[in-house]
Amino acid sequence: NNKISIPFDMSMETAAGTVKFSHNAGMVLEKQNNKSEWHIVWNEQMIFPQMGPGDKVRFNLSEAQRGELLDRNGKELAANGTVQSVGVVPGKLGNDKETSKSKIASILGIAVDQIDSLLNQKWVKDDLFVPIAKIPENDGRTDDLLKIPGVKITNVKARVYPYKEAMAQLIGWVGNISGDELKKLNSEGYTDSDIIGKAGLEQIFEKRLRGKNGGEIWIEGSDNSRKQTIIKTEPQNGEDIKLTIDANMQDALYKQLSPDAGDAAAINPKTGEVLALVSSPSYDPNQLVLGISQSRWKALNDDPKKPLMNRFAQVYAPGSTFKAITAGIGLKTGKINPDEKINIQGLTWQKDKSWGDYYVKRVSDPKRPVNLKDALVYSDNIYFAMSALKIGGKPMIDGAASFGIGEDIPFEYPIKKSMITEGNFQNDIQLADTGYGQGKVETSTLHLALIYSSLINNGNILKPALELKEGGTPQVWHEGAIPKDKAEIILNDLIQVVEDSKGTARECRIPNVSIAAKTGTAELKADKNDKEAKENGWFVALNTDNPRLAVSMMIEDVGARGGSHYVVPKVKNVLTGFLK
């Protein structure tokens, strides 16, 4: 018997799903070169049993839509839109091709060599459209480009970011999957043609935003008729995610920060909903999606203000804004009596001679003993340095921990955890400096906004929320960070920081609006002899009647611009715009 039939089972993964079938492979014994060998009897049914002579396999991909990111009011933050693909039909460039290419390069801000490289690809023919670059929809350069012979512009689908720089660090961007990413995600169905979240929430929510493509495989008869469907799956679009972010708030804060280097966080103090997370300077993520030039990418990386750095995810010395936390720890441990008046002489102080030539300095001397309210109103460094020493090293660290300092914030977006010190304080000087926000303490703007909001939440620190959920209720992160009665004392004192005629935040007064606030200036000294140290300015404020908004802002290098007083009016502008 020179013919046999061998049964086999086939399973193949396709873009439309898994296809399985059983069939028989025919084999025949044939003699070639004086040797007998078994050969497969090939026919179309070896591909799919339903196929016959002359049939073809056809495939159609049904692309899934990536989910969109929306603000709390439904405004698009990351959307599926269209951009313009600018290209040329080589055979229509005209007689003076070099001039045409030069004009195209000049308008698009690219090199002629880049155009030549694209036109020299092997597949290019005179009558084919060759994409050169992508530009935004309704771009003002369109008319000038279309005047050049051979230029053609078509609309193509793309991810678009309407709020550009204002949202870049928060929302992020998408791009073509890299080889390394494909290796890690190959088992999850990614292919080398996929788009993937590269940064920000596009990356963090990738699994939810990503859709799953569908497709159909069918057999086409020799007469071009549709003969039989092998498999068909419908596309599954990605999930649209509505955030707690207020696009108007985000945009307003970015405009106040730009072009300075700094960051800001805004939250609803009663719910923990994050309304804005802003970093400045920034970049336009649309440029990365469209295709950024090497020169522009280099400029972003070399910019000393670091626009690619996400500042709201970092921690910084909080300066005098930390005094409210020291006050909370002191009141909670009984080491601060709010009514006790401390007699402090002059503008400098040291614990004893063991400090050598190191002194704690304060900005002003009220010429009278000061209590807790005075110390917060005047932002008295010496009072809080003394208080930290009374509290003691371990109680200070433990007290800070009750505010969440030293642990990760329970939040979808990764933010560096605030720190007070690694281990124990090295000495009394470091402990004293920490009392007024210098020393080793570092916090993020978001964490400070959450801590200050505890003052109107009975001393409880709320868990921040980034995703807007129907019927969601505020979740407590740290219960009883400050006892309720102590929180009320600090809150009332911080209101006086604004209302008192000598308060450091008096510039933030808003008619008919009660504001509790604290300024802060952090000196970034390498050591005590550093005379050229830069200063970061801080301001944290929240409204206290029907509390709706808490804003925390930090701006770098404000030493020559009034310190924290450079920051105060910027936050005030936002508070006024959204509370009035």
Give the catalytic positions in this structure: 320
Ordered DSSP codes for 106-157: HHHT--HHHHHHHHTSTT--TTS-EEEEEEETT-TTHHHHHTSTTEEEEEEE
CA atoms lying within 13 Å on the CB side of residue 367: 0
User: CA nearest 272: which of 15, 52, 446?
Assistant: 446
Q: How many Å from the N-terminal Cα to the C-terminal Cα in the chain? A: 96
- What distance in Å separates the CA atoms of residue 405 and residue 394, rounded to the nearest whole number? 14
SS3 for 208? helix
Would you give the distance in Å from CA 398 to the centre of its chain? 31
- What distance in Å separates the CA atoms of residue 471 and residue 234, rounded to the nearest whole number? 32
User: CA nearest 288: which of 261, 308, 263?
Assistant: 308
- What distance in Å separates the CA atoms of residue 572 and residue 553, rounded to the nearest whole number? 11
Q: List the beta strands (DSSP E) in 353-414.
A: 360-361
Instruction: Yes or no: say if 432 and 460 are a contact pair by the CB < 8 Å rule.
Output: no
User: CA-CA distances (angstroms) from residue 556 to 231, 248, 277, 571?
Assistant: 59, 24, 17, 15
**3-state helix, strand and coil shares in percent for the chain, rounded to the nearest 5:** 35, 25, 40
Specify burial of residue 334 (Cβ count, 10 A radius: 0-12, 13-18, 19+): exposed
Instruction: Yes or no: say if 418 and 447 are a contact pair by the CB < 8 Å rule.
Output: yes
Instruction: Yes or no: say if 538 and 311 are a contact pair by the CB < 8 Å rule.
Output: no
**What are the φ and ψ backbone dihedral angles of 232, each rounded to 5 degrees?**
-145, 125
